[in-house]
Amino acid sequence: QVQLVESGGGLVQAGGSLRLSCAASGRTFSGYAMGWFRQAPGKEREFVAAIIWSGGSTSYADSVKGRFTISRDNAENTVYLQMNSLKPEDTAVYYCAARRYGYINIKIEEAVFGSWGQGTQVTVSS
């Protein structure tokens, strides 16, 4: 499995932007689909966005569609989550996750992602 390290979290005012990064190391990054999930205090972890290996297909939760963009740089073994028009309800710990054999189909279920980062805190003030 790959090792994942997230960065880029922080405190931002409502309406602001942040870009999260997730750097992969260890096993080759080749073929991995990637996802972002988040967990707010007192709530279950939820899907945010996913992208296949080539970057040619993405998926978003309805709550972030039109505001967040997932992308990846396979040469740099890094996946990004650009978050615009942030809302207080976006406050959560954001986790990066990796899924092997992610060449074609988008999958958003937590159980199919075998590698997880430690998370990065995003706090949006009103």
| Per-residue pLDDT at 12 | 98
Contact 5, 119 (CB under 8 A): no
User: In this structure, what token pair is assigned to residue 110?
Assistant: 């937590």
| Per-residue pLDDT at 102 | 86
| Per-residue pLDDT at 125 | 97
Per residue in 17-31, pLDDT (tens digit) is 999 999 999 877 789
Stretches in the chain below the pLDDT threshold 50: none
| Per-residue pLDDT at 93 | 98
| Per-residue pLDDT at 57 | 94
DSSP codes, 29-86: -TT-EEEEEEE-TTS--EEEEEE-TTSS-EEE-TTTTTTEEEEEETTTTEEEEEE-S-
